[in-house]
Amino acid sequence: MESSKVQMIESSLVAPSEASPTKALWLSPFDLALANRGHTPLVYLYSSGAAFFDTARLKEGMAKALASFYPLAGRLGVDDAGRARISCNGKGVLFVVARSYLKSDDLDFSKPSPELRRMFVPRIEPSSLIMAAQVTFLKCGAVALGVAVHHAAVDGPSTFHFMQTWSAFSRDALAAVELPCHDRTLLHARCPPAVHPGALSVLCPKVTFSEASGPTATEVFTISRDQLVTLKRLCGGATTFCSVSALVWRCAIAARRLPPDAEARLSFPANVRRRLRPPLPDRYFGNALVWLGVAAAARDVATEALASVAGRIGGAIARMDDGLVRSAIDHLELAGAAADGRPLRGSMPETELRITSWLGMPVYDADFGCGGPQVMSRAESVRGGFVYLMDQPGGGVRVVMCMEAANIKSFQRLLYANITKASKL
């Protein structure tokens, strides 16, 4: 924490308000595949929240929520075979209270940065902590809420389910909530594992990360509601995700000046909860993501109709059925997913782009009594080749892009030039 800008007032552990199961929680292959992502740093900004963020009430609400979401109060460890697991022991979530002389206008909370993470997301010590939260009272009366949750424990839908529940209990101690499902054996590999040969053409192959050849930069680009309507029409009525991803992929390839014959690959996580038969419970708590991939020659992505590029992406999603998901689970089990939980380092090759979508997720539903957040974003994004798509308040999409600093201005120019061109068609 940068003591000159943010001063810590209090640090404590918040345990579940009721006795929770004490056990080792088995992690599925999907959980293990994301263990090396470390903690996901999030930041929420409440423009007039100081009067509503009573820390005692927040702790009470968190303790009540943890009674049901008890894995978050545990610790990440390994079993005798070296496989990662969560020790559900009720030790608690790290809760930090801080103050700052900064005002909300002094920083762009919508743009991830190392500074934003250092100041407003608590430092994770020890690394086995599953979750930590920090409430920072700003000089202007605004409140920044920073949250870090280990990706081995949860994916986006599960994280936001907890945030909805915590905020609901902070508003009303008797709030009605939807309970999570903790049965991760629903995503157990088959015995014996069996990977359908056709699945490997859709599943994203393992990517080697390395130190970038130069500095990376993170920028945020917005696509307005009207621009999005036009873009989706240009893409033949494709979904928001497919339309925006097709445009971002094309512009990234052009900005990076890839050779025409180079194989460009786009990968993205897809939620499997409704794709399995029978489907997972709606409130399944854990990681339920399969990584899909689309590959094509750079010249094809650059020259074919944007609707065709969107169709490539949509085609991969359309193939995600129960058989593909089961093959993905078995493939990860056979491959031996990462189990040490150490954070991923480095950037992706310039031929690769990875897009994570939070579109349609309740990212703004964390209402602690003063309404939803004015801004919600990742606090940091520093790995080149990673893109995040989020709903923009009032409509439209926010594109958080991290790529080579030398190419990002070109990407920006191409992105908006393509959007402007589409608007004139």
Q: Which two tokens stand for residue 315?
A: 């085609």
How many Cα atoms occupy the beta-carbon half-sphere of 227 within 13 Å?
Answer: 17
**Residue 10's CB: how many other CB atoms inside 10 A?**
10
**3-state SS string over 112-171?**
CCHHHHHHHCCCCCCCCECEEEEEEECCCCCEEEEEEEECCCCCHHHHHHHHHHHHHHHH
Contact 346, 383 (CB under 8 A): yes
Grouping H, G, I as helix, E, B as strand and the rest as coil, residue 26 is: strand
Does residue 391 sit in helix, strand or coil?
strand
Q: Calculate the CA dihedral of residues 392, 395, 399, 400 and round it to 10 degrees.
A: 0
Biggest distance spanned by C-alpha atoms of the chain: 62
Query: Cα separations (Å) of 316 from 130, 199, 312, 401?
Result: 33, 10, 7, 22
Single out the residue of 157, 155, 177, 156 nearest to residue 166, CA to CA. 177
DSSP assignment of 304-335 equals S-HHHHHHHHHHHHHT-SHHHHHHHHHHHHHH
| Whole-angstrom distance, CA of residue 385 vs CA of residue 420 | 24
For residues 295 and 264, the answer to whether their CB atoms sit within 8 Å is yes
Say how many Å lie between the first and final Cα of the chain, rounded: 50
Neighbours of 101 (CB within 10 A): 12
242 within 8 A of 313, measured Cβ to Cβ: yes
- What DSSP element (H or E) covers 270? strand 263-271
The kind and range of the H/E element at 177 are none
Amino acid at 419: I
Amino acid at 360: G
Which residues participate in catalysis according to the annotation? 151, 367
